[in-house]
Amino acid sequence: MTDTREELAPSASGVEAIESRTGGAGEAPPTLRRRPRRLRRTGAIRDMVRETRLRPQQFIYPLFATSGSNTQEEIDALPGQYRLSPDRLVEQAKRAWDLGIPAVLLFGHAEHKDEIGSEAADPRGITQQAVRALKSNLPDLVVMTDVCLCAYTTHGHCGLVDENGQVLNDPTLEVLAKVALSHAEAGADTVAPSDMMDGRVGAIRQALDAAGREDIGIMAYAAKYASAFYGPFREAVDSAPQFGDRRGYQMDPANCREAVREAKLDVEEGADIVMVKPALAYLDVIAAVRSAVDVPVAAYNVSGEYAMVAAAAERGWVEPRALTLEVLTSIARAGADMIITYHALEAAAWLKA
């Protein structure tokens, strides 16, 4: 049977070629059995049949906490994003909440660094201060906290380091568990270990449960890649490694099956949510992890992805609203139940407009 659409496709001769095949301008073309364009004809129809729906309730807004009061320091590499003192952090989180965004993910900009990242677990630390401020003022806001050592150590690695510069897996687990517990005691709803040490989800779950904090959730950075997209974030919290790199514990960007194994291991150890990071260049990984686990899947639309859109928009090369919503929709379409994104405020405002 001849493909009717091919018969009707205009050739170099245009309308004349179509008329010659159909018997002239006055003759009706053959009936098409399928016309997909019927479901694209109007905006209302397109809305009715849309397969992936983006909502502010899917967003988690990353925030950077710094010491002081009434402090707002713009991050050069992340236009429109700031390091905020706890009081200003509350104001920004309130804006997110009013737009329908239910959760924030906190990162601390440490005032004091040492070899073992001791401020990370300090009850008086900046992340703990920020958690208390948020929960005091916005009790229904879901406060998630990043659990890692890189922003608190002088060497910038995500775990303890020996005299030979090797990142130590098992000794780090005890420290991470203490950090997570300190966040829970400050009022965090969910802790998010991002270090990629083996066994850290289990160690944190055990420590929380032993302290009577079975109610605290764990969102594991299950598949965190050794990515070139993290540069602006490292400026935001001053967390670049001072020697070597993180490829010995973060994942090889070439691997997808490994991400599925990591996600399954984290679920077995007690993760309530698993995350893929970055998001935009790893849509296939998001889809694979979504198919492999039965817990919610988060994806982190990271700093480099955000910065590329911001830079192109600043130069007038792209239309920021259309591109941002397309990027976020693609992440949701790949299977992410929730999206951590610096675009959260503007995207939520656009979706509500």
Which residue numbers are catalytic? 224, 277
The dihedral built from the CA positions of residue 246, 340, 283 and 232, taken in this order, carries a sign that is negative
Q: Coil, helix or strand for 9? A: coil
Two tokens, residue 310? 């911001």
Tokens found for residue 53: 């729906």
Q: Which of 235, 252, 262 is nearest to 150 (CA)?
A: 235
Q: Does residue 203 sit in helix, strand or coil? A: helix
d(CA 159, CA 108): 16
Q: Are strands 190-193 and 142-147 parallel, antiparallel or unpaired?
A: parallel
What tokens does 339 get? 């999206």
C-alpha span between 3 and 30 (Å, rounded): 11
Q: How crowded is the C-beta side of 52, counted as CA atoms within 13 Å?
A: 16
Q: Do residues 249 and 166 make contact, with C-beta atoms less than 8 angstroms apart?
A: no
Is the separation of the CB atoms in 32 and 311 below 8 Å?
A: no
The rounded distance, in Å, linking the Cα atoms of 102 and 99 is 9
CB of 235 closer than 8 Å to CB of 77: yes
